[in-house]
A and B are shown apart, each in its own frame.
Chain A
Amino acid sequence: MKYQECNKIVKQKAFERAIAGDEHKRSVVDSLDIESMTIEDEYSGPKLEDGKVTITFMKELMQWYKDQKKLHRKCAYQILVQVKEVLSKLSTLVETTLKEVRAVGRCVGGPGGAPWLGRGHGAQKLTGPPGLVCLPSPPPPPRVCLPGCPSSPGLSASVPPSPCPCPLPVSLHGSSRSAMTSCLSPPLCPLPTSLSGPLPLRWPLFFQTEKITVCGDTHGQFYDLLNIFELNGLPSDTNPYIFNGDFVDRGSFSVEVILTLFGFKLLYPDHFHLLRGNHETDNMNQIYGFEGEVKAKYTAQMYELFSEVFEWLPLAQCINGKVLIMHGGLFSEDGVTLDDIRKIERNRQPPDSGPMCDLLWSDPQPQNGRSVSKRGVSCQFGPDVTKAFLEENHLDYIIRSHEVKAEGYEVAHGGRCVTVFSAPNYCDQMGNKASYIHLRGSDLRPQFHQFTAVPHPDVKPMAYASTLLQLGMM
């Protein structure tokens, strides 16, 4: 009896599994023999070093792409196979911690170079909420620390120099809060001229809060992506990024964008995050240009592999248990929890409805309740839906993308639903600004940075179903 019961359950689960998703096809990876692909002598472009992505490779790759050249298919395949492996190990809900304050140990300087923290000299102890230290005026732009200035305690002096983001801890006392905000950016790392004697409390201290940059849709706008890196710095372990979906389609340089993003994912797997957008799907790629672009630049088989890789992109990310990030938005039904998201079996094309579909497709609306989406799929959700979801999951607010906004961002639902969009002058037509968001461990409120479009090379008209406006309707 018990066996029959178990069997029934197993069969039922297998059936549910089968109808729940696409058939599990054989992977393109199985039919690839990357090792035997040769790179011709004439190819002078970037190559992986010992089969690995390095910072040198990435810099060469971005320049190669800027010059409108093509990455060798072997390298593209190497990247895709490796990134598929990396992504498949992630949870559907990625959880990230931004440290509020990272204590900084000794700094270069005078004899002994006594550490400032946790030891005499009247220095503040860095436990619990940070102290009241603040610069009296907005700090100058970041400077590279001199050698020997470690960025966290316990590191030896051999740590290579790096930009030392040290926004100062903020007083959380009432009215002074707004004044403090200006001190939060940009970061600063001044060096003391002398380390002798007790430290006056109002001397700038080497505090560091972790920062992350959240970008929205980029849609194949490679030159605008390069501009983001110019403005905000290249990705690194101390300059982490989240790209919130819709990397491809519409723009004419989707291949360049996606391989650059995948390259950085491989280089900084714990500090460079990619979330899936509704355009990381077969239906969209077929119509909006990515499939056409991959087939034109490479092969149909490579597109198949891209499709498989997209299926492994996580669907949401949670920062410090407080800020939830997803491409589309919230859900068609009440009561969805973070655990429900975590449990979604995402390696498939999204279904026509349900939480996975909503995460990729939904939009906020101004009025309470839910409505049929003007997109024809998923829903529109009101401020009450957002409030309830946040409360139930102990979150502060959500960041999403998916909708072009004239200013590059929008704050809705009383600050609880933020949209960030990072494709300026979308499709060479909309004339919109774009933006990215800074979040800090010490202050999770979104800080918006806007930017405008940069020029890009003319591609042939009507290429890859993109650039509608190049000819419009003649």
Chain B
Amino acid sequence: MATNLRSTTFNSGPSSTEADDEGVQGTCEDASICKRFAVSIGYWDDPYLQHLVRLSKERKAPEINRGYFARVHGISELIKAFLRKTECHCQILNLGAGMDTTFWILKDQDLLPDKYFEVDFPLIVTRKVHSIRSRPHLSKPILELHSEDTLQGDGHMLDSKRYALIGADLRDLATLEEKLKKCNMNTQLPTLLVTECVLVYMTPEQSANLIKWAANSFETAMFISYEQVNMDDRFGQIMIENLRRRQCDLAGVEPCKSLESQRERFLSNGWETASAVNMMELYSRLPRAEVSRIEALEFLDELELLEQLMCHYCLCWATRGGSELGLTEITC
């Protein structure tokens, strides 16, 4: 769809591009399977994930489960902080959302924004649309908030009063913007953009464009990004190599060099403030009660692997405007 717009810094041709996209799309399943597994052990509650992804027959390592717990917790805290500061008069754009269930969880918590948008590759969106349409647990909450009896859209997208699911390529910003606007995205509202392991899959140029587009589109905004960091070391090299063998290129690994470079990519693309913390640091700052609870779920026999894994992931957040709302105070 947007292959002609891809910069070919590393690709040899369209076929490898398609393979790369497929590899990237595969990570959606990996992430959701890992999250569902962690939920099944009791790390956190999510009654909606089971309707979107199967339960893995093989156990995931405790480090992976704890890692996903910290990730989900960290992102969710930042999202809730934004919603509170804006008193829910805002919109959320979850870019590369995959099988994310935040919309349904926020509805249960009475914390919905004016509208919640999810964007992902058309192939992934089609699957999600099908799941939503065929499962009342997923469709009912959306319909409850909708003005009509049925949801708009076809097999490839979904639109309703408070929730939209759009198939688009995040590297094709013009089309992305057009589709968002068709679903009543309001650039005047304070907007939260979320990318959870997304930017690393596009080139540094493409992600910079996306970040810049977001800064230019919304006067009052926050951007939350979760992905790899400190990738210059041996651990990073091994991960890159392993993923490459699985046809999944970390095209955007350059900005993942350090916390500094992660902050810089926002500051130099129109954002006013930028913060970044590595997940080991974040984990150590989690409420002790929560940590005790999850550490009791699965016995971790040694800490080295967990620490090393967590030190290679970070949570970043950047703000633009919103000082009167107190957006710049938000922290993790």
Contacts and interface: CB of A to CB of B under 8 A. Distances in A.
Interface in B280-305: 295, 298-305
Contacts of A287: 59, 61-62, 298-299
B295 A473 contact: no
A469 B239 contact: yes
A471 B30 contact: yes
Main secondary structure, interface of B, reads helix
Contacts of A429: 235, 238, 305, 308-309
Interface residues of B, number: 38
Interface of A: 278-279, 283-284, 286-289, 292, 374-377, 403-404, 426-431, 458, 461-466, 468-474
Interface in B252-300: 295, 298-300
Contact of B305 (A292, A430, A462, A470): A430
A283 B299 contact: yes
Q: Tell me which of A278, A283, A287, A427 has the highest count of chain B C-beta atoms within 10 A of its own C-beta.
A: A287
Nearest to B62: A287
Interface in B13-43: 27, 30-31, 34
Interface in B190-226: 197
B61 A288 contact: yes
A278 B302 CA distance: 11
Interface string B230-257: 0000110011001101100000000000
B64 interface: yes
Contact of B71 (A428, A461, A473): A473
Contacts of A470: 242, 246
B235 A431 contact: yes
Contact of B31 (A289, A463, A466, A474): A474
5 contacts: A287-B299, A375-B303, A458-B245, A468-B63, A471-B242
Nearest to B233: A431
A416 B299 CA distance: 30
A461 B243 CA distance: 10
Contacts of A286: 59
Interface string B61-85: 1111001100100000000000000
A362 to B, nearest CB: 13
A372 to B, nearest CB: 14
Contact of A466 (B61, B67, B239): B61
B60 interface: yes
B313 interface: yes
B235 to A, nearest CB: 6
Contacts of A474: 27, 30-31, 34, 197
Contacts of B299: 283-284, 287, 376-377
